[in-house]
Amino acid sequence: MFVDSEIKSSGVIGLGICGNVQAMSIVHHGESTRGVSQSLSLLKKSTIESDTTVCFMVSCVGRGETFYKSKNVETGIFQKEFPNVPIGGFFGNGEVGLDQHSTEGKPLKDSHFLHSYSSVFCLCSLGKPTAPVRQGGSVTVSQ
């Protein structure tokens, strides 16, 4: 999502995951490695099942190597906090995500979803597969 008024064109890229999915996200706006660690420690308190979890990350193009003067800073901190969770993502010019810790108990507004100069970390856990159960001529999934 492009949120900069200087840009003449816009576009949105989305990712959809369906099924028995649990998700928790956090948006990091800070400018220090200590702040990234603090944000990720809040995410670590989530009750998402870790055996089947992956992280999807979208970070502002203004962050990264130029911002930190080093490569893979935020993903490196993530890997220290979540050593068994694979992480992937991309850089964008504007980020879409929900900081669930700052919106807890509050009505959601559009401004809670659109961000700039930030990194969005979203943990997604696919539930354990369930076996299909045959009933007559049809198949149903037990949960």
pLDDT higher than threshold 90 for residue 86: yes
**In the prediction, which pLDDT does 82 show?**
92
**In the prediction, which pLDDT does 111 show?**
58
pLDDT tens digits for range 108-118: 565 567 777 78
pLDDT-above-90 percentage for the chain: 17
| 28-56: burial string, b at 16+ Cβ within 10 Å, e else | beeeeeeebbebbeebeebebeeebbebb
**In the prediction, which pLDDT does 138 show?**
45
**In the prediction, which pLDDT does 65 show?**
86
Helix (H) or strand (E) holding 73: helix 73-81
**In the prediction, which pLDDT does 13 show?**
65
pLDDT higher than threshold 60 for residue 137: no
Q: Please give the mean pLDDT across all residues of the chain.
A: 76
pLDDT band at 134 (very low <50, low <70, confident <90, very high): very low
**Sequence-separated (6 or more) residues with CB below 8 Å from residue 72:** none
Q: Is the dihedral of CA 57, 62, 67, 72 positive or negative?
A: positive
Phi, psi of 140 (to 5 degrees): -120, 155
Q: Which residues are registered as beta bridge partners of 21?
A: 126
